[in-house]
Amino acid sequence: MLYFLAETIFGFICQYVPIGFWNGYSPAPTDRYRRLDLKSSQGFRAEPNLAPLPTTKPRRERYYGPNQIIRAPLDYLLSIPGKDIRGKLINAFNEWLQLPDDKLAIVKEVINLLHTASLLIDDIQDGSRLRRGRPVAHEVFGVAQTINAANYAYFLQQERLSEIGDPRAFHIFTNALLDLHRGQGMDLYWREAVVCPTEEEYIRMVIYKTGGLFRLALELMQVQSNSTTDFSELVELLGIIFQIRDDYMNLQSGLYAEKKGSMEDLTEGKFSYPVIHSIHAAPENSMLVDILKQRTEDNVVKVRAVHYMESTGSFQYCRENLARLTKQARHHVKELEVSLGPNRGIHAILDLLHVQQPNEKPLV
196 near 190, Cβ under 8 Å? yes
**Which positions make up the binding site?**
83, 86, 115, 122, 126, 131-132, 209-210, 243, 246, 250, 260, 270
**Which positions make up the binding site for isopentenyl diphosphate?**
83, 86, 115, 132
107 near 93, Cβ under 8 Å? no
Spatial distance between the Cα atoms of 188 and 302, rounded to a whole number of angstroms: 21
Count how many residues are written for the chain: 364
Spatial distance between the Cα atoms of 320 and 56, rounded to a whole number of angstroms: 61
Cα–Cα distances in angstroms (integers) from residue 182 to residues 84, 85, 210, 317, 321, in the given order: 24, 22, 11, 27, 25
| Residue 230 CA from chain centroid, whole number | 25
**Which positions make up the binding site for dimethylallyl diphosphate?**
131, 209-210, 243, 250, 260, 270
Spatial distance between the Cα atoms of 184 and 125, rounded to a whole number of angstroms: 10
What sign does the CA torsion over 87, 89, 90, 96 have? positive
265 near 275, Cβ under 8 Å? yes
Give the count of alpha carbons within 13 A of 247, CB side only: 26
**Which positions make up the binding site for Mg(2+)?**
122, 126, 246
Spatial distance between the Cα atoms of 167 and 205, rounded to a whole number of angstroms: 28
